[in-house]
């Protein structure tokens, strides 16, 4: 997985193995021009530890506008805790344990990486891994891009001009070709020689760049993992919308 998921295994403690829910918090250090983001930990397991869930999710603290703080935090908590439903479905399926009592452990792990942090804008990448049987586990990533004036989540449509997604797709292809030092996308290992970027494509922001991210099987085989295209703002300055909540120069 491209990102280092925020320390999952340190929280597999005695409390986790007892089958109880555990909720801890850890405050991240901050600079004066950034938001304070703390990590909350949720863990749970079956009594025999045949199914385990571990979630690290971000919460913002110290905002002057508590309504915005509550709005953003509620959204992030809901998004990160969606995997609890999957864990509960496995936990309630008693037939699984009758057929395979000691042969596999079902795992659900969710963490995050703060990609961009300012008082006006944050970009957070969720990383999720789950193993529910089969040859290998599955994972995906989601970017959450939030302007802090109103606490709204931005999509690509809020950043890229409406008639410019073909140009964005071109720059995406060029970034991938350069990364893999390939003459064509199929030479790089992708399924096709053309990439389509819909207006709901997943992305996040890092200083100076828009990063488009594609999960395993989305444009390439599982063995390639998550594929990202890092596109400098300089290359797409003509198709960016005005008055974005982060600098693009």
Domain housing 168: 156-239
Read off the pLDDT of residues 31-72 as tens digits, 9 standing for 90 and up.
568 999 999 999 999 888 888 999 999 999 999 999 999 999
pLDDT at position 48, please?
81
Query: Are residues 143 and 161 both part of a single domain?
Result: no
Read off the pLDDT of residues 7-24 as tens digits, 9 standing for 90 and up.
333 333 333 333 334 444
Q: Quick check: 102 pLDDT over 60?
A: no
Read off the pLDDT of residues 211-246 as tens digits, 9 standing for 90 and up.
999 999 999 999 999 999 999 999 999 999 999 999
Secondary element (H or E) of residue 83: helix 83-92
State which of 109, 133, 153 marks the end of a domain: 153
Contacts of residue 237, Cβ cutoff 8 Å, sequence gap at least 6: 248
For residue 183, the SS3 value is: coil
Read off the pLDDT of residues 176-207 as tens digits, 9 standing for 90 and up.
999 999 999 999 999 999 999 999 999 999 99
CA separation for the pair 206, 93 (Å, rounded): 41
State which of 118, 153, 188 marks the end of a domain: 153
Contacts of residue 145, Cβ cutoff 8 Å, sequence gap at least 6: 121, 122, 123, 153, 154, 155, 203, 204, 205
Query: Are residues 22 and 145 both part of a single domain?
Result: yes
Higher pLDDT, 7 or 148: 148
């Amino acid at each position: 997985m491209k990102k280092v998921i925020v320390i999952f295994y340190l929280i597999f403690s005695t409390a986790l193995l007892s089958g109880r829910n555990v909720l801890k918090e850890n405050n991240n250090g901050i600079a004066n021009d950034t938001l304070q983001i703390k990590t909350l930990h949720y863990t749970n397991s079956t009594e025999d530890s045949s199914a385990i869930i571990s979630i690290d999710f971000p919460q913002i603290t110290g905002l002057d506008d508590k309504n915005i703080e509550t709005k953003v935090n509620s959204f992030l908590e809901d998004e990160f805790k969606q995997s609890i439903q999957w864990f509960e479905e496995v936990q309630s399926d008693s037939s699984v344990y009758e057929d395979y009592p000691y042969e596999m452990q079902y795992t659900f792990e969710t963490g995050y990486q703060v990609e961009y942090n300012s008082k006006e804008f944050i970009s957070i990448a969720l990383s999720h891994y789950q193993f529910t049987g089969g040859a290998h586990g599955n994972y995906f990533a989601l970017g959450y891009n939030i302007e802090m004036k109103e606490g709204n989540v931005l999509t690509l449509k809020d950043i890229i001009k409406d008639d410019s997604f073909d140009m964005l797709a071109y720059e995406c292809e060029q970034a991938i070709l350069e990364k893999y030092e390939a003459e064509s996308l199929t030479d790089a290992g992708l399924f096709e020689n053309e990439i389509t970027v819909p207006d709901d494509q997943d992305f996040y922001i890092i200083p100076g760049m828009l990063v488009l991210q594609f999960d395993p099987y989305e444009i390439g085989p599982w063995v390639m993992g998550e594929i990202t295209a890092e596109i400098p703002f300089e290359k797409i300055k003509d198709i960016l919308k005005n008055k974005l909540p982060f600098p693009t120069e």
